[in-house]
Amino acid sequence: MDTLPLLDTVKDASSLAPSRRARPGWPLRLLFALVVFFLGCVVGLYFQGPGLRAVFAWTRLEPGAGARQPIALPVDRVPSPERVAAMAVGDVVALGRLQPSGGIVSVALPQGAGDARIDEILVTEGDVVARGDVLAVLDSLTVYQAALTGAESTLAIRRAALAQARVQVAATEAELHAQVRGAEATVAAAERELARVRSLVARGAATPSVLEGAERSAETARADRDRLQAALTRYRPGPDGQQVDIAVATADLAAAEAVAEQARRDLDRARVLAPQDGTIIEVAARAGERPPADGLLRMGDTARMEAEVKVFQTMVPRVAVGQAVSLASGVLGDTPLTGTVSRIGTLVGRQSVTAEDPAANTDARVLLVTVALDAPSSARAAAYVNLEVVARIAVAAPAPGDAGQ
């Protein structure tokens, strides 16, 4: 019987070798080492242990000194006496803004303009205007012009009525005077006739009936004279020195003049006038729009520019009126603006002018110091209203004998 072949259960020699797990190569090891090193640096900067501080002390390097915006800074909660002394000398540096003399004026709509809209704007940015110039016209102007036309027509009628009253009074008064003189002549003739008739009656040459007729004629003449004299008193000057009819016409004319004057003033409700001399800085609306609540135009006296500098309250005692000031900005180039301190405020407020730094201290307490620019600098600054500048106020160095006091 044939022998059956045995099953070969022996594995390949290579498979009998012990299995080895694949290990990562050197790039992964290097990446892992870099991650550990980076995390160690972050932890060291966060906690700033004694070892890290020893390294900075040994190398005399300052944390963050090589960065434009450092994030790791030494904490000096209690400045040293040397640092305080350094802060107490030298020029005062602060942030500020360029402003026209007197500030920026927001020109609002005139009182009583209501819901009027802009019909026409007569100025543009950069125009120089004088006080009282018309800057813009509202669409309500036609309504006020019609009211003014009616008021002026009434005024003309009242003037004509006054002139007519004066002519009529003069003519009537002259006529009454003439009639009074005629009545007096008639009275004199009637009295003479009455005296003659009485003498005739006394001699028996006339009857009593003739006498009665003469007496009635004399009485009638006297009555006509008295009536004319009474009518004449109406044309005599009254307590105010004017005849009554003329006084009434004069009062009507004064009322018409008041109405016309009010109509002329109402025209200003449809016109935006310049409140002062200056330059138009900004036009905030266009024709057809309703003016914004914060003003239609902004203007200022850019012929005289100044700077509003916010000085820290601790530095204000070193600032005095008349000190020289230089104002620098990247927009102005290498030549700074120059001026002098003209006014130092008295109200301590919060810092409203800050540099472009997220960590800037916006809760600092400052005082407003006004710097008047000289003529050349004012002419340059007129083109940069509200520009942020860095002001350097020149403070006189203390005398050597004052250092120890």
Ordered alpha helix ranges (H), 112-243:
141-203, 208-233
Q: How confident is the model at residue 397 (pLDDT cuts 50, 70, 90)?
A: low
In total, the chain counts a number of residues equal to 405
79 touches 250 (CB < 8 A) = no
* pLDDT at residue 7, as a whole number: 46
* pLDDT at residue 142, as a whole number: 86
Round the CA-based radius of gyration of the chain to a whole number and report it: 52
Instruction: Please give the average per-residue pLDDT across 234-262, as a whole number.
Output: 86
Domain ranges for the chain: 37-69, 81-103+301-397, 144-266
Q: For 1-46, what is each residue's pLDDT tens digit?
A: 444 444 444 444 444 444 455 455 677 777 777 877 777 777 766 6
Instruction: Please give the average per-residue pLDDT across 92-118, as a whole number.
Output: 85
Q: For 34-80, what is each residue's pLDDT tens digit?
A: 877 777 777 766 666 676 677 767 776 666 666 554 554 454 443 44
Q: Dihedrals φ, ψ of 230, to 5°?
A: -65, -40
Classify domain 81-103+301-397 at the CATH superfamily level: Efflux pump adaptor protein, beta barrel domain (2.40.30.170)
Q: Over pLDDT 90: what percentage of the chain?
A: 25
At 16 the three-state DSSP class reads helix
Q: For 350-371, what is each residue's pLDDT tens digit?
A: 665 554 444 444 456 888 999 9
What mean pLDDT is reported for the chain?
79
